[in-house]
A and B are shown apart, each in its own frame.
Chain A
C-alpha cells in the first residue's frame, strides 16, 4: 500500500528565500508529525497535527517556520527567509491516532540545502 510521501526529495535554495515542503500521509491517518534531522542536532521534533489542528508549536525553531494541514490530509511546512542553519533533512510521519503506542510511519524526507 501507499506509504508517506514527501516532496520535493531535494531542495536547494538561496539564503533569504522561502521554501515549502509537502507531506502526504497514509490515507486515514489522523496524526501527522514533522521532524528535522541534522548533523549537529540529530532527530528533533518540530510540530504535530491532530486532524487539521496543531495544539503545540513549541518545537518550531523560530517564527520563520510555520505549518498547516488541510482536509485532514496533506501538510505543508513553510520556512521563510531561509538561513544556512535550516539545512537539514525534514521528515514527516503519520500514525492512525495520537496514542503514544501507535507506530509512526516515516516518509523518505526532503533534503534542504540553503546556500
Chain B
C-alpha cells in the first residue's frame, strides 16, 4: 500500500520569496515520486520525478526536490517565486510493479506581488 500526504492545502508567498511545498509518502516498497502542477482548467504537467538515481532532482521552471528516505519526504522548492507559479501542485507516488499514481490532496500556491 502507498499513500501521500501534502501538508497545507494552501501556501501563500510573496513574489521573490522561497517556495516550499511539503510531501511525505508511505510505501512498503521503494517508491518513485513525482510532482505535477495543474493550472486552472488544464491537465497535470510533470515538474520533476525521482526514480532512484540522484536524490536531488531538478525540474522545469526552476523547481527542485530532494528525496529523503529517512524522513520519507520529497519536498518541492524554488528559490524565488514568480507570479506565474501560482497553481495547484500535486505530489504522487508509484512503485515497482505498480505504475498507477497515488496522489496527495494537492497544495494551492498563491503568489502575491
A binds B: yes
Q: Which residues of B contact A (CB under 8 A)?
A: 32, 34, 36, 41-46, 49, 51, 90, 92, 94-106
* Contact residues, A68-115 vs B (CB, 8 A): 91, 93, 95, 98-109
Return A65 CB to nearest CB of chain B, in Å: 16
- Given A101-B49, A101-B51, CB of A45 within 8 Å of CB of B100: yes
Q: Which residues of B contact A12 (CB under 8 A)?
A: none
Interface size on A, residues (CB 8 A): 25
Asked if residues A104 and B43 are in contact (CB atoms below 8 Å), the reply is no
Q: Which of A44, A100, A107 contacts B43 (CB 8 A)?
A: A107
Return B9 CB to nearest CB of chain A, in Å: 10
Q: How far is the CA of A101 from the CA of B53 in the complex (A)?
A: 11
Can you list the 4 inter-chain pairs with the closest CB atoms, starting with the nearest?
A106-B43, A43-B103, A101-B51, A106-B44
Q: How far is the CA of A93 from the CA of B45 in the complex (A)?
A: 11
Q: Which residues of B contact A106 (CB under 8 A)?
A: 36, 43-45
Return A48 CB to nearest CB of chain B, in Å: 6
Q: Which of B41, B90, B98 contacts A43 (CB 8 A)?
A: B90
